[in-house]
């Protein structure tokens, strides 16, 4: 995680969101929820956490019995959106798909 990464402009964010279908901008974070079965979100979160540790970037995660919600922003950029957020979003999409977690 580069220190003091550059915040993206609104234009950049719109362009990156167009490449990240399913993710929504909410203020200075991007969010997405996935339906899970039988509390399967726990295994999904463990897998996501392993990848987050590797890349040094972490989402806020809300675990419910039937879905998991991810919210990502870059603390080191003053809680603004950066490339790292969209990179993590892409990785979460792949992990969720591997776990059979369907986008909400």
- Sites of contact with ligand H2B (CB under 6 A): 1, 56-58, 72-76
Q: Closest by alpha carbon to 1, among 69, 88, 96?
A: 88
Q: How far is the CB of 78 from ligand H2B (least distance, A)?
A: 9
Q: How far is the CB of 84 from ligand H2B (least distance, A)?
A: 7
Helix-helix angle 41-55:83-98, to 10 degrees: 140
Largest interatomic CA distance in the chain: 40
| Rounded distance between C-alpha atoms, residue 6 and residue 54, angstroms | 21
Q: How far is the CB of 58 from ligand H2B (least distance, A)?
A: 4
101 touches 36 (CB < 8 A): yes
Nearer to ligand H2B, 57 or 99 (CB): 57
Nearer to ligand H2B, 39 or 75 (CB): 75
Nearer to ligand H2B, 30 or 101 (CB): 30
């Amino acid at each position: 995680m580069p220190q003091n990464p550059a915040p993206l402009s609104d234009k950049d964010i719109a362009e990156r969101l167009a490449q990240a279908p399913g993710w929504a901008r909410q203020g200075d974070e991007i969010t997405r929820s996935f339906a899970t079965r039988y509390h399967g979100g726990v295994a999904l979160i463990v897998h996501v956490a392993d990848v987050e540790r590797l890349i040094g970037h972490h989402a806020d995660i809300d675990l419910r019995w039937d879905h998991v919600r991810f919210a990502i922003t870059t603390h080191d950029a003053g809680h603004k959106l950066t490339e790292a957020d969209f990179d993590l979003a892409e990785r979460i999409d792949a992990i969720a798909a591997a776990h059979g977690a369907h986008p909400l």
